[in-house]
Amino acid sequence: MNFTLYNCARQAINWLLPKQCLQCQSTLGDHEGSVCNYCYVDLPFQHSYCSRCGQNYSAKTDYCGHCLTSQPTFDHCFCPFEYQSSIKDLICKLKYRQRPELAKAAASLLMGELIESNFERPDALIAVPMHISRLRERGYNHSALIAQHLSKTLKIPLLSGSISKSRPTPPQAQQSLKQRKKNLVGSFSLKKNIQAKNVAIIDDVVTTGSTAEEIAKILKKNGVDYVQVWGIAHTL
C-alpha cells in the first residue's frame, strides 16, 4: 500500500467532511476543539501530579518524593492526561494505525490545557526525534507532527533537526526503567547549535522520562537554561 497517497486521501476527506468529536463522533461546533463539550469532561485528566517529572501522585506538595531526592535534568513536565481510555486510543491510532491527521487533534487537546494552566512560554520547541530506520518504517514522526501544529498555533519556533536519534533503540514499551535508561544513553546527538534559553521538548507519552532526560542533558550542556517537557499523556 502507498501510505503517502493513502494519508493524503484520508486528510482530504477529513477536510471536506464536518469535524467530528473524537469520542462520540458528533458534529463539532466552531467553538469546540477535538472533542465535544459533553465528552471533554470525561477525558482522563491528571488531577494531581509532580510538576517536575509529571508523574501522577496524590500528595499536595509540588514535587514527588523521588524528585525531592533525585531531580531529573529537565525542569518541568506538563502532561494533562492519563494514558488511558480515549486518550490512549487517540495516541495509538496516531502512532500505529497510519493516522497522521490525528496529530492536529492531539496538539489541540494539549494546547487547550497549556493555555488553561497559564504555561511558561518557551523560546523554542524541539520534537523527540526518531531514528531514520523507524521513520522509514512508520512514514512520519508523530511527535514532530504534534510539535508542528503547536508551533504554528502558539507562534513558537520549532527547531527541526537540532537533535537527532543517532542510533536505533529497542521499543521502550516493554522495557524496565533500568533497561530504558541503558538503551537511551548516547542515542541522541546535537546537530545544530541552539540559541534558545528556554526550550520545550514535545512528546506524545511520558513514561519514565528517560527520553526527555537524555535530550535535556544535551540541551543543558549546550547553553539551554530551562527545559520543559510537554506530552499529551503520562502513564500511571
CA distances from 104 to 11, 142, 190 (A): 11, 10, 27
Q: In the predicted model, what is the mean pLDDT of the chain?
A: 86
* pLDDT tier at 13, thresholds 50, 70, 90: very low
- Cβ–Cβ < 8 Å for 17, 3: no
DSSP SS3 for 229: strand
Query: Which domains are seen in the chain, by residue range?
Result: 1-42 (no CATH), 45-234 (3.40.50)
**Per-residue pLDDT tens for 148-159?**
999 999 999 999
DSSP SS3 for 76: strand
CA distances from 49 to 128, 175, 224, 236 (A): 22, 23, 25, 10
Angstrom distance (rounded) from CA 146 to CA 8: 17
**Per-residue pLDDT tens for 49-106?**
898 999 888 777 788 888 888 899 999 999 999 999 999 999 999 999 999 999 999 9
What is the model's pTM?
0.87
CB-count burial class (<10 Å; 0-12, 13-18, 19+) for 56:
middle
